Amino acid sequence: MTPKPYDSVMLFMGILSTRGFPESVKDRLESMFGPVCLISPSMPFTFTDYYNPEMGSGIERFFIAFERLVQPDSLAEAKTLTDSLEMEMAIDGRRCMNLDPGLISEGSVVLATTKNRAHRIAIGSSLYAEVTLIYHSHGFEAFPWTYADYRSPEVQETLLAFRRRYLELRKADR
């Protein structure tokens, strides 16, 4: 049997920051992944205090999406590049930003992570991926492991807008 090529997907980034989204970071990400096509408004990140010891208080969450569609097997490379950028921007070994790449397809939102859990699969370079949300009945559905912010209406509306843009780009790509 001849393998079928992957469907292209949209690379997006969940960003946590206490410094907004500096133009210099946007420029660096665009040099790695191509033009940014969507940027969400910032949202207060109040779902957990997990990042406060490292990043401080007043953390904001926002999302960006990239115009250039990618192959789904590029997620590990994207996570490796963003982890390096996080460390490059760190001050005294503490991250100022958390850059979490993910993929949007017609049917799901997939996130990359460095942490292994029972529901995650290895994707190379000591990284894992999980299906965080699935698209069903005109919206996203969460799983028991889905992060609290990804369950929120604000984040899901943002990701639905990204999905709509993805479908437009994919249609134009054919």
Does residue 3 belong to any structural domain of this protein? no
Q: Are 173 and 165 in contact (CB under 8 A)?
A: no
Provide mean pLDDT across the span 139-153.
Answer: 97
Residue 92 domain boundaries: 9-173
Does residue 24 belong to any structural domain of this protein? yes
Q: Tell me the per-residue pLDDT of 34-47, one tens digit each, with 9 for 90 and over.
A: 999 999 999 999 99
User: Cβ atoms within 10 A of the Cβ of 90, count?
Assistant: 13
Q: What is the pLDDT of residue 84?
A: 96
**5 confidence band (pLDDT: 50, 70, 90):** very high
Does residue 1 belong to any structural domain of this protein? no
**165 confidence band (pLDDT: 50, 70, 90):** very high
Does residue 2 belong to any structural domain of this protein? no
- Report the domain count for the chain: 1
Does residue 96 belong to any structural domain of this protein? yes
Does residue 34 belong to any structural domain of this protein? yes
**68 confidence band (pLDDT: 50, 70, 90):** very high
Does residue 133 belong to any structural domain of this protein? yes
Q: Tell me the per-residue pLDDT of 86-115, one tens digit each, with 9 for 90 and over.
A: 999 999 999 999 999 999 999 999 999 999
Q: Tell me the per-residue pLDDT of 7-37, one tens digit each, with 9 for 90 and over.
A: 999 999 999 999 889 999 999 999 999 999 9
Query: Could you give the CA distance from residue 128 to residue 130 in angstroms, rounded to a whole number?
Result: 7
